[in-house]
Amino acid sequence: MLFSFFIATAQKHTDTLQEIRVKSKRRQQVSADERINTFSPGQKIKSIDSITLQQYRFQSVANLLAQQVPVFVKSYGFNGLATLNFRGASAAQSQVYWNGIPLQNAALGLSDVSLLPVSLLNKVNIVYGGSAALWGSGNIGGALVVENAQPVFDTAIAVRHSVSLVAGSFGQYQLGLQSSVSTARWYVSANLNGQLAENNFIYTDNDGKEDKTRNSKLQSGVAMVQAAYKANDKNTLSVTAWYQNYYREIPKALFESVSIKNQRDRSTRLLATWNRDGERAKLHLRTAYMHDYMHYRDSVIQLEPESVTQQVYAEAGIKYRHNPHHQWILFAPIHISLLERRMKNDVKYQYRYALAAAYGYTAFKEKLLVAANLRGEIINEQSILLPGINAAYSITFWLSIRGNVQRTYRNPTLNELYFDPGGNEQLKPEQGWSKDVGYTLKTNPSNRLVFLHDLSYFDRKIHNWIIWFGGGIWTPHNIATVHSHGIETENNLQYRTGKWTWHIGLNTSYVLATTEKSNAPNDGSIGKQIPYTPRYNGQANIGFTYGVFHFNYNHTYTGYRFVTVDESQYLLPYNTGNIQLMYGKQLSAFRLQATAQCNNIWNRQYAVVNGRPMPGINWLVGLSVSR
C-alpha cells in the first residue's frame, strides 16, 4: 500500500517513469555434477543443447560429436570402433563419464563412443583440457560427460509412454520404446532400443573401381531401467541398470582381399546413488558395477580372442557452502578393475584409491570465480599427487576471461601391461602439465540479436608417451615426449523475429601435436605431427526455427591425418555436408515428433582411418509418438 501511495504521488508530477535497465548474472546448472557447475570455472565446457540432442536422438554419440563439436572422432568406418581425440591426446587420454562414473573399458582404457546411443542421454557436456584432480588420473586431453534424466516426482500419478520407429539407408531399422511412471515418492522408467542394419554401401577401391561392402551387418539391443525413491524432501535413492549387446560384422579394408571378421560386445552396468540435499551441505554416495565382454573372431587366420573385464567403483562425498563466497567439496573414490586372461587362465588387477578436495571462491559480486583442486591417488602401490587451479573473471557483462593449470598423469592400462602376447610390464606412466587460457564475448541472451565468440589457447607436454609398435607381435613402449598446443574457437550468431529464429555458427580447432623427443633412433618423428591428429578441424551450422519446425545445415572439415610418425604417409582432407530436420505437433493427448537427417549430401568419398571407406550420401528418418 505504501509503495502504491508513493507511485501515485510521483505521477501527480509526471506522466512517465524513468526506465531503468537491470543486469544480473545467472550461473547455469549445465550438469548434475558439481565438478562441472561449481569447481571448473576456468575450464572450457561445451554443453550440447536439447534441440540438437533431439535432432540426433536416433544416431550415436560418435556422429553427434563429429558433426557438432571440434573434437576429432577417430572412426574405423561403419561397424567400427570410434574413439575421441581431445587436443591431440590419444584415445586412452580422453575419458568418458556416465553419471559421474568412468566408463572406459578396464582393459583398453578407452570408450567406443559409437556404442553410446544419444536416445539414452539427457545431457552431454564436453570438458576441454586435463583435470585429473577432479576427474582422476587418465584425464589428460579432456572428458565427455554424459548423463541420464534426473528422476521427476509428481504429486499425482503420472504415466508417460513413447514409441519411435526409424528407417534409413543401407537397410537400417530401429525401434525404441520409453515408459515412465512417477508419484510423489516413486519414479520408474524404462528405455528399450533395437537396431538392425545391412550397411551395404558402395565405395571406390584402390584401383578406382566401385565395390559394395560385404560382411557388414549390425544387430544391437539396448535396455536401460531407472528407479528412484524420494524418502523425504532431502533424501533420494536411485538405481540404474544399463545393458547393451552389439553384434558387428567387420567389412574388409581396402588393403584386404576378404574379411569374415565379426565382434560381439556385451556390457552390463549397475549404478546406485544416494543424495541428501541440505540447506548448506549436500552429501552423495554412489557405487557401480560394470562388466564388459568382447569376443573378436577372424576365421581366416584362426584368431578368436576374448576379453572379459570387471570394474567396481564407489564414491562418497560432501559439498558444503559456507557462505556465498566460500564452498568446498571433498570426496573419496575407490576404483577396482580386473582383466581375465583366459589364454593364461589368470586375473590381473588394478586398484585405485583417492582422496580429492576442491575449494571454490567467489568475489566481486560473482565476477571472480576461483577453484583450487587437489587429489592424492594410490594406483596399486604407487602414490601420486595431482594439483590444479582454475579461475574466471568477468571484466564486463559481456566479456570474461579464464585460465586453467593442471598436472596430468595416466597409468598404463591393463592391456598395455598384461596383454598376451605383447604386454609390457616395464611401462612407465605418462605425465606432464597442461595449461589453457581463453576468453568469452557474448551479448545478453534475451536480446533479439545474440552473439557469442569464444577462444581458447592450450599448451600441454606429456613425457613417456606410450606407443604400440613392432612386427609380428605389437608391444607398447614409452617412446616419446609429445608437445600439444593450439587454438579453438566457437562462434554463434542468433537472430529472433516473430516466430522465426535464425542461427549461424562456426567452430574451429588448430592443433599442433608434435614429437619433441623419441627413444627410437632414426624414426623420423622429431618435430612431426603424431599420427591421426588433424591440424585443422571445424564445423559450421546454419539454419532456422519456425514455430515447431527446425532446420539445420551442418558442414564439417577435417584436415590431413598422418598415418606414420615421420609424416611419410597421410590421408587427404575431407568435407561433408549434413542436414537435420525436426517437426513437432500436439495432437489431442499425443505428441508427434518427426526427424530426418541426410548425411554426406555431397556424396564425398573419404576415409577417417586408412583403408576404411566411409559411406556416401545416406539418410535416416524417425517418427516418435508420445503421451
d(CA 545, CA 571): 37
pLDDT, greater one: 490 or 471 = 490
Report whether 387 contacts 409 (CB < 8 A): no
**How confident is the model over 313-335, as pLDDT tens digits?**
999 999 999 998 999 999 999 99
Element (H, E) at 549: strand 549-558
Residue 346 bridge partners (DSSP)? 341
Query: Domain holding 429: CATH number?
Result: 2.40.170.20
Average pLDDT over residues 544-567: 95
Q: Any residues with CB less than 8 A from the CB of 209 and at least 6 apart, and which? A: none
At a CB cut-off of 8 Å and minimum separation 6, what does 510 contact? 486, 487, 488, 535, 536
Q: What is the DSSP letter of 27?
A: -
Q: Which residue has the cell 520409453?
A: 178
Contact present, 466 and 424 (Cβ < 8 Å): no
- Say what the pLDDT of residue 79 is: 80
Residue 456 maps to a domain: yes
> Which cell goes with 322?
559456507
Is the pLDDT confidence value at 473 over 80? no
Closest CA to 145 of 110, 114, 93, 99: 99
- The mean of the pLDDT values for the chain is 91
Question: Using CA atoms, how far apart are residues 163 and 606, in angstroms rounded to an integer?
Answer: 35
Q: Reply yes or no: is the peptide bond before residue 573 cis, omega within 30 of 0.
A: no
pLDDT at 474: 84
Cell digits of residue 601? 549430401
Q: In the structure, what pLDDT confidence band is assigned to residue 524 with cuts at 50, 70 and 90?
A: confident
pLDDT at position 419:
84
Residue corresponding to grid cell 541426410: 598
Q: Check residue 468 and give its pLDDT.
A: 85
Is residue 23 pLDDT above 50, yes or no?
A: no
Binned at pLDDT 50, 70 and 90, residue 13 comes out as: very low
Residue in 93, 136, 92 with CA at minimum distance from that of residue 315: 136
Residue 21, pLDDT > 50, answer no
Q: Which residue has the higher pLDDT, 157 or 29?
A: 157
- Other residues' Cβ atoms within 10 Å of the Cβ of residue 194: 15
pLDDT of residue 207: 87
pLDDT of 479 > 90? The answer is no
Do residues 47 and 32 lie in contact, with contact meaning Cβ atoms separated by under 8 Å? no
Give percent of the chain with pLDDT exceeding 70: 95
Point out the least confidently predicted range of 182-196, 216-230, 332-346, 400-414. Answer: 332-346
Q: How many domains does the chain have?
A: 1
Residue with the larger pLDDT of the pair 305 and 515: 515
Flag whether pLDDT at 7 surpasses 60. no
pLDDT digits (tens, 9 = 90+) for 217-275: 999 999 999 999 999 999 999 999 999 999 999 999 998 888 899 999 999 999 999 99
Give the domain extent around 327: 34-626
Span 569-586, average pLDDT:
95
Low-confidence winner among 276-290, 439-453, 515-529, 531-545 (lowest mean pLDDT): 515-529
| Domain assignment present for 117 | yes
Helix (H) or strand (E) holding 61, with range, is: helix 61-68
In 324-417, the DSSP E strands lie at 326-341, 346-363, 368-379, 382-394, 399-410
Q: For the residues 463-474, what does the mean pLDDT come to?
A: 82
> Across the strands, what pairs with 536?
510
Q: Which of 489, 483, 532, 460 is nearest to 129 (CA)?
A: 460
Mean pLDDT in residue range 428-452: 95
Whole-number percent of the chain with pLDDT over 90: 80
- Residue 149: pLDDT band (50, 70, 90) is confident
Which of 72, 451, 99 lies closest to 271, judged by CA?
A: 99
Question: 145: part of which helix (H) or strand (E)?
Answer: strand 142-147
Task: Look at residues 348, 481, 345, 332 and name the one whose alpha carbon lies nearest to residue 413.
Answer: 348
Judged by DSSP in three states, 603 sits in coil
Using the predicted structure, report yes or no on whether residue 387 has a pLDDT greater than 60: yes
DSSP state of 148: P
Interval 515-523 mean pLDDT: 86
> Please, which residues have CB within 8 angstroms of residue 332's CB and are 6 or more apart in sequence?
315, 316, 317, 353, 354, 355, 356
Q: Which whole number is the average pLDDT over 467-475?
A: 78
Residue 60, all three cell numbers: 550415436
Tell me the mean pLDDT in the region 518-530.
88
Closest CA to 223 of 266, 181, 277: 266
pLDDT number for residue 292:
95
Q: Does 295 map to a domain?
A: yes
pLDDT over 70 at 16, yes or no: no
3-state secondary structure of 394: strand
Whole-angstrom distance, CA of residue 149 vs CA of residue 188: 12
Look at residue 27 and tell me if it is in a domain: no
